[in-house]
Amino acid sequence: GMPFEVWNAENPFGADGSGCTWDATVPIGDNAYEDGTDSQYQDKFFEEYHHQLKRAALTPMMGNHDAHASDALTQTGPFFDMFTNLNAQVPGQEAYYSYNVGKDLFVIVLDTTADEMIERTSAQYQWLEGQLTGAAAEAATWVAVFFHHPPYTKGSHDSDRVDRLIRIRQWWNPL
């Protein structure tokens, strides 16, 4: 089995968060609808999940809605004002990072909100290559890579038609 718990609807964490037994929470973007403003984060994220956030590490990533008010390239806006990424390994870069959960799981969080961030020549792509072949990934039983835009989807954003999703699938999946 997996060395960590996955929450599901059959195992609710309760109103006080007492059922929260996991080590980290990784919201995968679009955390504060509609535009990722400070007030939307306060009302729709921090107020909504305050009990759970007290009990598990928070390792957020931006989604396209968060990017309406924040910019991963310049590291500005409400997302970067609210979250200080202590896991960032690249000086001045908090949009992507990695960390260990115990000795079994190595987690990599990436940013896909700007086309410049997903290019094969980008600093993030080069960093990802190094992370996947580095000592932490080699030592871990599990390596989990999270990013907002899925390489495969047939929902409202068809991954066979949306350029960004095609590029993520073609460039990142082989890594």
User: Considering the entire predicted model, what is its pTM?
Assistant: 0.81
For residue 1, tell me if it sits in a domain. Answer: no
CATH of the domain at 116: 3.60.21.10
Considering its fold, how many domains does the chain have in total?
A: 1
Q: What is the pLDDT of residues 103-144, one digit of tens each?
A: 888 888 899 999 999 999 999 999 999 999 999 999 999 999
Q: Is 155 exposed, middle or buried (0-12, 13-18, 19+ CB in 10 A)?
A: exposed
For residue 68, tell me if it sits in a domain. Answer: yes
In this model, does residue 14 exceed pLDDT 60? no
In this model, does residue 18 exceed pLDDT 50? yes
Query: Other C-beta atoms within 10 Å of 60: how many?
Result: 20
For residue 85, tell me if it sits in a domain. Answer: yes
Cα distances from 139 to residues 59, 91, 106, 122, 124, in angstroms, run 21, 24, 9, 26, 22
Give the pairing of strands 24-25 and 57-58. Answer: parallel
Q: For residue 145, what pLDDT is reported?
A: 92
SS3 116: helix
